[in-house]
Amino acid sequence: MSRETRVRIPDAELSWRFSRSSGPGGQHVNTSDTRVELIWSLATTRALTPEQRDRAMEALRSRLTDGSITVVSSQYRSQLRNRDAARVRLEELVARAIVPPRTRRATKPSRASQARRLDEKKRRSEVKRRRSGAGWD
Q: What is the pLDDT of residue 71?
A: 92
Q: What is the pLDDT of residue 89?
A: 93
Q: What is the pLDDT of residue 34?
A: 82
Q: What is the dihedral of CA 127, 128, 129, 131, to 10 degrees?
A: 90
Q: What is the pLDDT of residue 67?
A: 87
Q: What is the pLDDT of residue 132?
A: 83
The closest of 112, 63, 130 to 90, measured between CA atoms, is 63
Pairing of strands 35-41, 14-19: antiparallel
Q: What is the pLDDT of residue 28?
A: 67
Q: What is the pLDDT of residue 1?
A: 38
Q: What is the pLDDT of residue 137?
A: 56
The domain locations on the chain are 11-97
> 11-97: which CATH architecture?
2-Layer Sandwich (3.30)
Contact, 79 vs 71, CB < 8 A? Answer: no
Per-residue pLDDT of the chain (137 residues; tens, 9 = 90+): 345 567 888 888 888 888 887 766 666 666 778 889 999 998 888 888 889 899 999 999 898 889 899 999 988 888 899 999 999 999 999 999 999 889 999 999 999 999 999 999 999 999 999 998 765 55
Phi-psi region at 133: left, alpha or beta (left = phi > 0; alpha = psi -120 to 50): left
**Whole-structure pTM value:** 0.68
Taking every pair of Cα atoms in the chain, the longest distance, rounded to a whole number of angstroms, is: 84
